[in-house]
Amino acid sequence: MHRPTDNLRADHVLTAQGLAVLVGIGGHVRAGGPFPAADCAMALRFLREFVLAVHLRKEIELVCPAVAMRGDDRAAELVGELMRLHEEVGELIHSLILFWVPVDDLTAEERAVFADTCEAVAARLARMQQLEETQLFPACDASIPADDQLDWIDRFGQLEQERGPRTIWAQRLAPLLLQWRIGSQ
Ligand SMILES: [Fe+2]
């Protein structure tokens, strides 16, 4: 069986792709391009339904509390930092959702705010991934007994079934990646 941290690392690969799409859309909007409402809606749906409602719940509800309880002061500090970043990411994503079907053409200032917010979400999630892969996951693998992690895989599966598994989101993101990550920059 794969370790739960392997499952989370696989989520990170897909999340990084979704963020590349978001930053690509942000750059296009900043440069004055027409607002790509449908693609933006899909990218935000991915952030809301996969990143927030599946991936971050796996980490925030299961992994972080276990590491904080079994770890030392440094682990507790790390989990506190991740919780803070998680809260900021949630607020930023919700503010982006306000933009996804703009009624009128955006002003230059609104375009800049949108692009800055896309970049801020991407930067915070990249920071979370870095902290998790270099500190949280190693601490989890070293300090949480395998038996304690057995239920996590089931719970991970439940969360994915509720909101769409990683494979489905990878299919949905594939055309956006071609458009926005590779084609637009
Ligand atoms: Fe993560």
* CA–CA dist 13, 28 (Å, integer): 23
Inter-helix orientation angle 37-45/73-97, to 10°: 150
Ligand 1 centre to CA of 125 (Å) is: 8
Ligand 1 centre to CA of 29 (Å) is: 27
Contact yes or no for 164/49 (Cβ under 8 A): yes
Beta strands in 121-180 (DSSP E): none
Ligand 1 centre to CA of 20 (Å) is: 16
Q: Which domain holds residue 108?
A: 4-29+36-182
pLDDT in tens, 113-151: 999 999 999 999 999 999 999 999 999 999 998 888 989
Domain count across the chain? 1
Ligand 1 centre to CA of 9 (Å) is: 7
pLDDT at residue 183 above 60?
Answer: no
List the structure tokens of 30: 């900043």
Ligand 1 centre to CA of 131 (Å) is: 9
Ligand 1 centre to CA of 183 (Å) is: 27
Q: Is 32 left (phi over 0), alpha (psi -120 to 50) or beta?
A: left
Q: Which of 47-56, 91-100, 166-175 has the lowest mean pLDDT?
A: 91-100
Other CB atoms within 10 Å distance of the CB of residue 34: 9
179-184's contacts with Cβ under 8 Å and 24+ in sequence apart are 179/21, 179/24, 179/39, 180/20, 180/21, 180/24, 180/25, 180/28, 180/39, 181/17, 181/20, 181/21, 181/24, 184/24, 184/25, 184/27, 184/28
Contact yes or no for 89/125 (Cβ under 8 A): yes
CATH of the domain at 14: 1.20.120
Ligand 1 centre to CA of 57 (Å) is: 9
Ligand 1 centre to CA of 3 (Å) is: 14
Ligand 1 centre to CA of 19 (Å) is: 13
Rounded to the nearest integer, the mean pLDDT of the chain is 92
Q: What angle do CA 130, 135, 136 make, to 5 degrees?
A: 95
State pTM to two decimals: 0.93
Ligand 1 centre to CA of 110 (Å) is: 30
Q: Is 102 left (phi over 0), alpha (psi -120 to 50) or beta?
A: beta
Q: What angle do CA 158, 159, 160 make, to 5 degrees?
A: 90
Ligand 1 centre to CA of 174 (Å) is: 21
pLDDT at residue 161 above 60?
Answer: yes
pLDDT of 2 reads 76
